Amino acid sequence: MKDGKINSHLARALVLSQQMLAAAEQANLQSLELLDAERLDLLKSFRLESKQVNAADRALLQQISQTNDRTIGLLEHQRRSKGRDMDIAAVGRRAVAAYSSHRLQR
């Protein structure tokens, strides 16, 4: 591959990474999983086919990495938010249970 030529596998992997970010923003985990599997296949193909990584490939890999980091950050934020929601719901259930049993004892 000539220096500066864009690798089609990496270009497609970048598009998939951007679609993964969009799926994460919509909390569409099923779509995210399918996109990730396809992207992984493309990245493996690139690794097997490429003897040297040129500047254009490095730039694409950097963009893929940055997009991936944003996606992971967003998913982690959503996971923590869901955890907080579950904690608050558990506290509410315990409060209701405590109040219900206290009221019955009167």
Could you read off the pLDDT of 26-46 as tens digits, one per residue?
A: 999 999 999 999 999 999 999
- Model-level pTM? 0.75
* 38 assigned to some structural domain: yes
63: in domain:
yes
What CA–CA distances, in Å, run from 80 to 21, 31, 73, 74, 84? 18, 21, 11, 10, 6
The proportion of the chain whose per-residue pLDDT surpasses 70, expressed as a percent, equals: 91
105 lies in some domain? no
Sign of the four-CA dihedral 8, 6, 45, 38: negative
Q: What percent of the chain has pLDDT over 90?
A: 62
- In a domain? residue 87: no
Q: Per-residue pLDDT for 99 more than 50?
A: yes
Total tally of structural domains belonging to the chain:
1
Question: Per-residue pLDDT tens for 49-66?
Answer: 988 899 999 999 999 999
Residue 2 lies in a domain: no
Question: Is 100 part of a structural domain of the chain?
Answer: no
Q: Is residue 3 part of a domain?
A: no
